[in-house]
Structures are given as C-alpha cells and as structure tokens.
Chains A and B, each alone.
Chain A
Amino acid sequence: MSTLPNPAKSESPDQRELARRILAGDPAATRYLLETIKPDVEAFLFHQCWNGQNRSLSLAREVIDDLFSECFGGFARNTGRKPLLASYRGGAKLATWLKTAARHRLITRMTAKRERDRVEPTKTDTLDDLLEGQSDDHAVDPTMIYARESGRPAAAEDDPESERNVVKMALREAIEALEESDPDVLVLIELHFLHGVQQNVLARSWKVQPSTITRQIQRALERLRVDTMNAIRRSQWRLGISFELTYTVEDFLEADCLAMISSRGASASSYSKNNSAR
C-alpha cells in the first residue's frame, strides 16, 4: 500500500486515516498494523518488562495479543464495547498510542498479580490463576498508583499524559520539600524566573554578591531535579516496572516546574497590569 505512512515520520492525519482504514477492514492497512506496528509495540513492551524472567515476557505477550484483539473489536462482541481503534484521535502516532495502551495494561496486570501475591501467596498459582478475573475495564495508570501510595490527588483515570502527571506529582513533592526546608531560595527562583527580577537586583536586596544568588538558584534547581527524579524512581520501584518518559526532562523543567511554582499564587502578569501606575 503505497499511501501508508512511515511509522517513524508519520503525522497525525495519516495515522487517523490508517486507523479508519483498519476499522473499515482494509486488508493492506490491517497487514500494516500487524506486520509493522505490532512488532514495534511488542519490542517496546518486552523491553519494558524484561527482568530476566520469561514469565514476564509471556505476560507481555498476552497483553499484546489482547490489545491487538481489542483494536479490531475482539472484545466488543463480549463486552459491547467499541473497538479500541475507534477511540484513537490521532493526537500521537498510532504506534506510540498503542505502546502507551500496552504499558497501562501490563501495569494493570502486574499490579493485580502483585496484590494477589500479597493477599494469597500460594506456590501453586499459575500465571493463568493470577490473571483470572482480571479485566481491562479498570485500567490503572502509574498516576493512580503513585497517588494512592503517596496520598496525593490523582489525575484523571485514562489520562493520556499519565507519565507526565507522575512527573508533575513528583515535582510538586520536590517543590514542597524545598519550600519547607529552604523557602528563601524558592522565593529567589520565583522572583527571577517568573517575575523577571534580575539576579543582581536580588543580590542588592539580599545584601550578598550576585554570584551567591546564582549559586543558590543553581543548587536549588539541581535539588529539584534530583528530588523529582528520585520520587519518580521510587514510584517506578513500587510499580515494579520502569517506563520511558515520553517527553524530555528539559521540557518539564522549562514548563511544569515554572508553571507549578507560578501556580502557587495569582498571576504576576495580571498583577503587573493592575499595578502599573504604582
């Protein structure tokens, strides 16, 4: 099929068209899904869950089989639900979207298995026993598990940006810790990055050298980074699975961190407009 997109370079409109054609039963599109995208998703999930035990790989294989069955509405006949691909909106590449869905399903099953192990630890349980009665209807994403264990508010279930939300919650935790232990540095960060106050102006107010302000801010940012990454690692350890951040750490430092610090109060820009005559 000459018009099918290159998965490495494809764009959303083409991907939506691909999903539409798969749902419509187009043989070429279906072959593309099974022969090109499915192996890619399989490789991703195997890599995600590999811990040296074939058992985990067999669990991943089951997840993949179920997932691609759902794509074609394999479960729809039994549950009345629409095919999975019908909910694809083209926001990300189809392969990426399926990888996220696969990872969430794997986490759901591994979490269920772990909880079963804790409640009913028997040596005779087979994998089928462990998975018995588990449904994909209640997909658990890392955000929900992190929220439950940290006692923090959870993001919406089925949130397509659940990884991002895990990072946000970890970052929020780090900011709160910094505020508790070193509030003056948090004030410096907010004044400099969000209100645009120059570091030499802050230094005059603080009665220190500008280099002192620079060092304090750099150390605090590094601490936020380390604390955030450690919180993410702790959540991954609890999940028993590592997941790949789909956006760069620089992104969250530039966007989420500043947005989160600024959201602790009212918009400074609106204040500036209202007080420009001061």
Chain B
Amino acid sequence: MQLPDQVINDDFRLLTDLLDEVEDVAAGRAAIPLSDEDRARLDKLAEGDCDKSERGNLINQLVSNSEAMNYFAEALKVQETKRKQNRA
C-alpha cells in the first residue's frame, strides 16, 4: 500500500484555536526581551521602510525570538489600523 498521493489542499484555514492547543513539539525558540532599539527596527519594517538587507537581518531575529515575532505581528496590525483610520 502506498502513501496517498492526493493533492493537498494548500489553503490553510485560520485555526486560531490551534494557538491554545500547542503540543510538546517546541523546537526551543527563545523568548528574549526586546530593547527599544529592537522595537524601533521592527516598527520600521512594519511600516515598509526597510531595505532588503535590513529586512534580512530582522528576519533572523524574528525566526529566533518569539518575542520579536509577536511584537512584529502586533506592529503590522497597528500599522494597518492607522492606515485605515487615515484613509477614513
């Protein structure tokens, strides 16, 4: 018997409840507190003001530091909210 070769649906649904069902498979990403300088750089990236090189450096921080990822996600949402408010 072979493994199923069916085409997998690539459209992930947003499963927010998964965040509460995290299993014990953590790869050990650190949660390092951010400095003001870190936050400023991530805000700059969220605003779309980073060049490719700056973004590459910040990506490494996002991958390795969950605090950075969480902060950046919030920063993006804040930026989007501000943009919508300004447009209104």
A residues near B, CB below 8 A?
A: 47-48, 168, 172, 175-176, 179, 183-184, 186-187, 190-191, 193-198, 201-202, 204-207, 218, 221-222, 225, 229, 232-233, 236, 242-245, 248-250, 253-260, 262-269, 271-272, 275, 278
Contact = CB atoms under 8 A, between A and B. Distances in A.
Q: Is the interface of A mostly helix, strand, loop or mixed?
A: helix
Nearest to A187: B62
9 contacts: A47-B1, A195-B73, A201-B79, A205-B48, A233-B3, A249-B4, A255-B18, A265-B29, A265-B31
B47 interface: yes
B13 interface: yes
Contacts of A191: 69, 72-73, 76
Contact of B76 (A179, A202, A225): A202
Given A191-B72, A262-B22, A267-B19, A250 B9 contact: yes
B13 to A, nearest CB: 6
Given A242-B1, A266-B66, A196 B16 contact: yes
Interface range on chain B: under 10, 10 to 19, 20 to 34, or 35 or more? 35 or more
A208 B86 CA distance: 22
A254 B10 CA distance: 9
Given A262-B19, A265-B29, A272-B74, A253 B9 contact: yes
B63 A268 contact: no
Nearest to A278: B74
A269 B20 contact: yes
Nearest to B66: A265
Contact of A242 (B3, B25, B72): B3
Interface in B31-88: 31, 45-48, 55-56, 59-60, 62-63, 65-67, 69-74, 76-80
Contacts of B2: 242
Contacts of A242: 1-3
B81 to A, nearest CB: 10
B55 A253 contact: no
A225 B3 CA distance: 13
Contact of B80 (A172, A190, A198): A198
Given A183-B60, A201-B80, A278-B74, A266 B67 contact: yes
A232 to B, nearest CB: 6
Contacts of A47: 1
Nearest to A270: B19
A253 B8 contact: yes
Given A191-B72, A195-B73, A271-B74, 7 more contacts: A187-B62, A191-B69, A242-B1, A242-B3, A244-B1, A258-B15, A272-B74
A259 B22 contact: yes
A230 B76 CA distance: 35
A245 B63 contact: no
Nearest to A244: B1
Given A191-B73, A255-B15, A269-B16, A264 B1 contact: no
